Structure formats: structure tokens, C-alpha cells
Amino acid sequence: MSRHELFRESWNEVVVRATSPNGCVHLTMQGDRDVRFSFDDAWFHRTTLTDFTDQLTRTFRLALVQRTQTYNRHREMVTGHVTTPIDGSRNPHLQTFVDKRDSLVVEGASADGRVSITAVGLRRFVVTLDPDLWSAGDRGAVERGLEEAGNALLRDQFAQMYELKQAGH
Amino acid sequence: MSEALGVEVGRVWRAGAKRMPEVADTLAGARGGVESSLSGLLSRSSGVGVDVSARFEELRGSIRKALRDSEDAIRDCGTALVWAAEDYQLTDQAARDAYEREKARVD
Amino acid sequence: MTTPQDLATLQDQLMARYDSGSWGSGFPEDPSQFGSCFNDFTDVPDPADFGDYTTALLETLKKLAPGGFDTSTSDDSGQPVTANGNSVLDMVSTAGIELDDWTGQASDGFFTWSQSWKTGISNQFAAVSVLRQLLHAEAAIWTAALDDLKNLGEAAYEALEAADDQFDTGAGDITTTLKVVGAVVAVAAAVPTAGASLSILTAVGAGVTVASTGMDLYAGAQTDSQKFATCCPRDVLADLMDGVSKVRTAVRDAEQKIAEQLDTNNGVIDGAWSEFCQPPPTLTTVHRDHIGAYEGLGTWGGEG
């Protein structure tokens, strides 16, 4: 098994955690899949939809930073090679890749379509919840919907990035 | 006094027959480290780097020649000293005895 | 320690990994370079072969040591080696003193010659030390260069795997450190002169930082690195060839310093050969028939 394969296999066991700035949204992600949410119950029932989605999108951004740092550290630990953010200035091909990556639009939705997440370059996130789902106040249903949408978003992200890699920029 | 002369001639013989060869043998041994060519070690066919093998070989060759010439000089000195001792006319028995004793010394 | 053969194997593995990948449109113009990137380095000096020579030279130094080793002499792993001066060499001086009471021209000449004879040996000792240190520097350069190339190859391999991985976004650069690129900075260890008159004989300024006189480059000299894109093989290959080029340049610069040092030392020796290897005394040219006469050993003046 090559070092990269060892890394890839062991990465599946690594859990990344992120918490929203207000401490009420918790996100875990294992091996770039299996996204899970949990919300502070009291906060969930008194917050507005706007505040809720705002805390969610902030959590996504924090999770992404956390995920990248953990991914790179784990790769260094397993393979011995230091990984740093891609430096597009090294050649025009890479810059094209970076530019396309930063403008990539990916999305994911829950199975019933009532929750969707859209991201541009994994920097700007938009979370859309069906008004009926929100007004029902069923925390478990919202968590499940977001988990399904989150997992779908990750799948779309990897699929589109692979397509971008395959296209040779 | 004849005995002292015998001792002196014996010392000349010992210098030529024992000491000089020992020094020469040491130099011959020292030369062992510079006998092997460095060309095979240092050369490369691809042109990568700067092929320094010829320059290394020049330095090695100089050291080898110097050690060889130094050794030859010491051996020639030894031979000359032995000749000188052997040619010296020791006219009395005491001198000849002292000479033989000096030659036979182990140190 | 990486050998040139290791690099040949590694480039075969790179080629095989490229051939087995699924690359879409991101393939390089000439993918065969994965399998030939180290070709120029597969018959370069093998660091593993230097030990036989430098160990033999250490023995030469011990035999020649006019006054023993100072602390700057080390074995191939950089451990200090101490040795007493070789007392056998003093026999020449002693023999000269013993002939001091002889009145002949050749014995007088021998006395004078014997008292300065060891200076020539000291110069030879210094030259052997220079030769050994410069060989160590060569070994250090190739050790670092081959290690660097191996690291480049391994990083390229990993970058290819990441590029071929559907679950790696390709958004990270793999970085590898290049030791040899930082090699051209400082000095090798001082030459133990031990009475040498040709004090200009030197390896100082060889421009290669070696750890003591061992074969490893001084670790503090690491100053450069090579990044590898992980998004497509075209960029991986470009980064690989860029890294190889850096190593190639660094080796050339470092060996140029060694070449200059060799030129200097060879020039010093050529220009002062009689100090480096003292001409034999007239004693060695006196005819056999005249060896005991006035032009040879003469008579013993010790009877007073």
C-alpha cells in the first residue's frame, strides 16, 4: 500500500468538528462524509430563521478551514510530506485551476428537497429551508435535512473538483 | 678510541640498514591510500555537475609521486650509509668488535 | 543513503503510476519524462563508494602524521579521530644527528637535509588531508543531491496519486526540502598542517558546508524547497522537472567550488614542488667507490 493509500484509508477515520460562533450549532464530519449536526434545543426554538442560517453558514466556513488544516496535518503525519495551500502564482495552469475552483458552484439538497445548501468556491454559503419545515420547529427533522443536504453538497463538491482536475484546467 | 669509532660506524650501518628502510616502508604503506584511481568513482557520462575527476587525479598523482620520490630518496640514503659503513677500514679488533655489536643491537 | 540505482527504480515507478492513472485532459506533452527524469543521475558518483577511498586516506594520514591529529580530523561519520605523531618519521632526523660528527660533504649535506626532511612530509600530510576533505565534500554533495532527487520523486509519486484520487480536491501543494541547493555557502574544516610550510594548501573555502569532515551536508544549509501541485499530472511533471533542474544547478555550482579548490591546490603544489617533495641529498648520488671519501661520508671527527 502506498503512502497516499495509507493516508486515504486512515483519513476515513478522522473526525473534524466545528462549532458556530454563538456555540449553539455543532457540526462533525468524518472522512469528508458523514456530516452530522446538532443544535442547542433552547436556542433552536427561540432563534429566527435568519439568525439560524447565519450561524449555519459561519459554521460551514469554520468547518472548512478546520477540515483543510486537519487534512494537511494528517497527510504530513502519514506521508511525511508537508502540504500547503495551492500556490497558483507558480504557473498559469495552476492559476486557472485556482480561479475555476474559487468560482465553482456546488449544491446539495435533502432527499425531500426541503433543505438545500449552495456554495460558491466553498466560501459563500447559502442555506435554504422550506418555511413549513422551519415553522414546524422539529429540531430532529431540520438536523436530518441539513445532514442529507450537507452530504450531498460534499459529493457534488468532490465530483465537480474531480471533473475540474480531469479537464486539465 | 678505536672502540668508539667502531660504535660510530656501526651506527652509520644501523641508520642505513634499519632506520632508513623502516621509514621508507612507512612511506610505501602511506602510498597505499593514493594508489587507486579516482576516475571511476568521480566520472559520469551525463555531463551533470562539473566532472572533477581529472583534477582529483592530478592531486592524487602529485601526492603519490611525492611519496614515491621521498621513499626512493630514503632508500637510496640507506644504501649509501650501508656502503659507507662497509667500506670503512676498521684496523683493530676492538673497533671491529664494537662495530659488530652495534650492528646486532635490536633497538 | 540514496544510490543512483534507487533513482532508476523510482523513475520506473513514477512512469508506471502515470500509466495506471486516469487523467482526463491533464496529461503532459511528453509523459515519458516521468520514466526518464533521473536518467542523468543514474551514473553519477555513488556516495556509498567513497568510504573505501576516504578510509584508506585516513590510514595514509595516520602513517604520515608528523605531529598527530588535531581535533579537526574525523572519520566518515564525522566522529573525531585522534592519532599520535608517527615516531618512525623521526628516525631520519635522528640519523642526521648521528652523522653530525662525520666530516664528508655528503654527510654534512645529509645532516642538513635530514633536519628539514619532515617539512616535506608535513606538506604531503596536508595535501592528503585536503584530498580527503574534498572527497568528503564531493560525497556530501552527491549524498544530498541523490537524497533530494529521491524526495522529489517520492513527492511527485504522491502528487500523482492525489491527482488521480476522486476524493482529493487537488487544492494542496506538497512541499519537499532540497538540501543540496543550500550547500554552496560556507567552508569545510581546516586542514591540519602539523608543520607544513605550504600553509596555503587548504580546503577552506571549498564552498561546501560539510558536517565536520564527515560526508553529510551541514543540516543548517537547507534553504530551498520544491512544491508539487496535486491537481493534474502535467503540473506534477512540471514541478518535478523544475526540482530536478534546481538540483542540477546546485550540484554544478557546488562542484565548481570544489574544482576551483583543486585548481588552487594543484597550482600550489606544482609551484613549490621542492618544498612538497624535497630533492634527495647528495649522499644518494655519490659513487659507490667514493662513498667513504671526503665527497662522501668522510671521516669521523668524534675522536677529538
Number of helices and strands in chain B (H, E) = 5, 0
Q: What pLDDT sits at residue B2? A: 84
> Between A and C, how many CB-CB pairs are < 8 A?
105
Pairing of strands C172-178, C224-228: antiparallel
Name beta bridge partners: A29: A16, A35
Q: Does B56 touch chain C (CB under 8 A)?
A: yes
Domain range for C251 is 4-290
Burial B34-44 (b: 16+ CB within 10 A, else e): beeebeebbbb
Q: Does B61 touch chain C (CB under 8 A)?
A: no
What is the number of domains present in chain A? 1
Task: Centre a 10 Å sphere on the Cβ of residue A71 and count the other Cβ atoms it contains.
Answer: 21
Strands of the sheet containing C172-178, edge to edge, are A82-85, C172-178, C224-228
- A17: domain CATH number? 3.30.1310.10
Distance, in Å, from the CA atom of C16 to the CA atom of C18, rounded to the nearest integer, reads 5
Q: What pLDDT sits at residue C186? A: 39
**Distance in Å, alpha carbon of C240 to nearest chain A alpha carbon:** 13
Where does residue B99 fall: left (phi above 0), alpha (psi -120 to 50 degrees), or beta otherwise?
A: alpha
Residue C297 counted as domain residue:
no
- pLDDT tens column, C143-181: 889 999 999 999 999 999 999 999 999 889 999 988 876
**Could A158 and C167 be called an inter-chain contact, meaning their C-beta atoms sit closer than 8 Å?**
yes
Distance, in Å, from the CA atom of C172 to the CA atom of A73, rounded to the nearest integer, reads 11
- Which of C190 and C110 is assigned the larger pLDDT? C110
User: What angle do helix axes A92-102 and C233-271 make, rounded to 10 degrees?
Assistant: 150
E strand map for C68-162: none
Residue C299 counted as domain residue:
no
> How confident is the model over C277-281, as a mean pLDDT?
93
Q: Does A85 touch chain C (CB under 8 A)?
A: yes
Which residue, C29, C56, C107, C15, is CA-closest to C298?
C107
Name beta bridge partners: A118: A107, A126
Distance, in Å, from the CA atom of C241 to the CA atom of C160, rounded to the nearest integer, reads 14
Question: Residue C104 carries which DSSP code?
Answer: S
Q: In A, which residues are within 8 Å of C246 by CB distance?
A: none
Smallest Cβ distance to C165: which of A8, A83, A91? Answer: A8
Q: What pLDDT sits at residue C212? A: 45
- The ipTM assigned to this model is 0.93
Q: Does C259 touch chain B (CB under 8 A)?
A: yes
What is the number of domains present in chain C? 1
Q: What pLDDT sits at residue C253? A: 87
Residue C302 counted as domain residue:
no
E strand map for chain C: 172-178, 224-228
Distance, in Å, from the CA atom of C29 to the CA atom of A10, rounded to the nearest integer, reads 34
Question: Residue C182 carries which DSSP code?
Answer: G
Q: Does A46 touch chain C (CB under 8 A)?
A: no
Distance, in Å, from the CA atom of C69 to the CA atom of C38, rounded to the nearest integer, reads 41
Domain range for A117 is 3-84+91-166
Q: Which three cell numbers stand for residue C276?
A: 612538497
Smallest Cβ distance to B70: which of C44, C138, C277? Answer: C277
Residues of chain C above pLDDT 90, percent: 53
**Distance in Å, alpha carbon of C16 to nearest chain B alpha carbon:** 24
- Positive or negative, the CA dihedral C137, C139, C143, C148 is positive
Which residue, C267, C31, C252, is CA-closest to C160?
C31
Q: What pLDDT sits at residue C211? A: 43
> Between B and C, how many CB-CB pairs are < 8 A?
190
**Could C163 and A165 be called an inter-chain contact, meaning their C-beta atoms sit closer than 8 Å?**
yes
Chains near C with 3+ CB pairs less than 8 A apart are A, B
Domain boundaries, chain B: 2-33+64-104
The 3-state DSSP composition of chain B as helix, strand, coil percent (nearest 5) reads 80, 0, 20
**Phi and psi at residue A116, to the nearest 5°:** -140, 150
pLDDT at residue C127 greater than cutoff 60: yes
**Total residue count of chain B as it appears in this document:** 107
- pLDDT tens column, C184-234: 433 445 556 566 666 556 554 444 444 444 555 554 555 688 999 999 999
Smallest Cβ distance to C174: which of A83, A165, A166? Answer: A83
Interface of A with C in 98-137 (CB under 8 A): 101
| C221 touches C186 (CB < 8 A) | yes
**Distance in Å, alpha carbon of C138 to nearest chain A alpha carbon:** 28
Q: In A, which residues are within 8 Å of C173 by CB distance?
A: 83-87
Counting as low any pLDDT under 70, the low residues of chain B are 1
User: Please, which pLDDT band fits residue A93 given cuts at 50, 70 and 90?
Assistant: confident
Residue C71 counted as domain residue:
yes
pTM of the model: 0.88
- Which of C182 and C260 is assigned the larger pLDDT? C260
Residue C22 counted as domain residue:
yes
- pLDDT tens column, C50-107: 999 999 999 999 999 877 776 566 777 767 777 788 889 999 999 999 888 899 999 9
**Distance in Å, alpha carbon of A76 to nearest chain C alpha carbon:** 9
Residue at grid coordinates 480536491: C169
